[in-house]
Amino acid sequence: MKHALIIAHPAARSFTGAMAKAYADALAAKGHEVLERDLYRMGFDPCLRPGEVPGPKGFEPGADVQAERELIKDVQSFAFFYPVWINSPPAILKGYLERVFGMGFGYGMVQGGNGPLLTGRSMISFSSSGAPKQWMMQTGCWDAMRKLFDEHFSSVCGIEVLDHLHFGGIAPGITAEAVEGCAAQVRAAADSHFGRPVQAA
């Protein structure tokens, strides 16, 4: 099974990156194919171009978007890794969703309007914040983020949401032991959803 790990953190070494590595290692140990898309390291451009917006004169995705779509077109499960800033994912991730999962890939024209093009795929998210998750829930930002970046996105594309694991209260001085404890939860999530070893063809 092919998985794409979409990673959005500007630091090469980060809590977000450590969680992505834990997930990748757990999947690889079961024989899954893992494709890592580290957006900052890729230098991905999140800015949607005027010509990429569907309109009466048509549209055409940029060459970088076309290449990215070709690379992930056969991915069966998408995993998103990101910190929460100002109660939402980093702009680079939002731009990735807009450009790559937009018209012609995530959804397309069907009779009567737009329809999902990625049915039969799944997604799982791993996020973190300096604020405790309980605070996010009390203030409503957790529900708002989930509705936009999990529920709405998955519905538009036809992707099944498997889980969203969030780590709150992640401070810059987090200990190695605490990071490992969180990584163990990430590995457990991978095993829970994709624990059966992949049979060789």
Q: What is the pLDDT of residue 201?
A: 45
Q: Note the pLDDT tens digit of each residue in 160-194.
A: 999 999 999 999 889 999 999 999 999 999 999 99
- The answer to whether 125 and 150 have CB atoms below 8 angstroms apart is yes
- The answer to whether 52 and 97 have CB atoms below 8 angstroms apart is no
Asked if residue 55 has pLDDT above 90, the reply is no
The domains located in the chain, with CATH, are 2-194 (3.40.50.360)
Q: Note the pLDDT tens digit of each residue in 14-31.
A: 999 999 999 999 999 999
Separation of alpha carbons 89 and 104, rounded Å = 24
Q: Beta strand 2-7 with 33-38: parallel, antiparallel or unpaired?
A: parallel
Token pair of 66 as six digits: 């076309």
